[in-house]
Amino acid sequence: MNLTETRYTISEVEARTGLTQHTLRWYERIGLMPHVDRSHSGQRRFSDKDLHWLGFVGKLRATGMSVADMVRYAELVREGDHTVDERRELLERTRREVLARVAELTDALEVLDFKIALYSGTGKAQS
């Protein structure tokens, strides 16, 4: 048990996550972050738990999930264990969307490769 838990200022979190201070404050405002601890003067002091959550949020964002859905997910987490079903559904829907997106990208990639090959050939290429 470590009694001196590490706390991070907003600029440290900015450096670690790549999210701007603006975005971090905005995430908190819209309910995408649990309320962050404050120093006696009101400045944010992020914990490792906060950083971990931000890491997960980053993954969700990478899936293309909308901010509205991420906020919904965060709400469900705050509401407790009885929301696991809805959370799982949300993630499963997102999962299906990711798979569809990957398929779409893979498909578009083929077209891209075909065009690139055309342009790389010695002959004249068209549109």
Burial 46-85 (b: 16+ CB within 10 A, else e): beeebeebbeebeebeeeebeeebbebbbebeeeeeeeee
Residue 21 interacting with a second copy (CB under 8 A): no
- 127 makes contact, choosing from DNA, a second copy, none, with CB < 5 to 8 Å by partner type, with a second copy
Residue 30 interacting with a second copy (CB under 8 A): no
Helix (H, G, I), strand (E, B), or coil: what is residue 65? coil
Residue of 52, 56, 85, 49 whose CA lies nearest to 70: 56
Binding site for a second copy (CB under 8 A): 53, 56, 59-60, 62-64, 77, 81, 84-85, 87-88, 91-92, 94-95, 98-99, 101-102, 104-109, 111-113, 115-116, 119-120, 124-125, 127
Binding site for DNA (CB under 7 A): 9-12, 20-23, 25-26, 29, 38-44, 61, 66-68
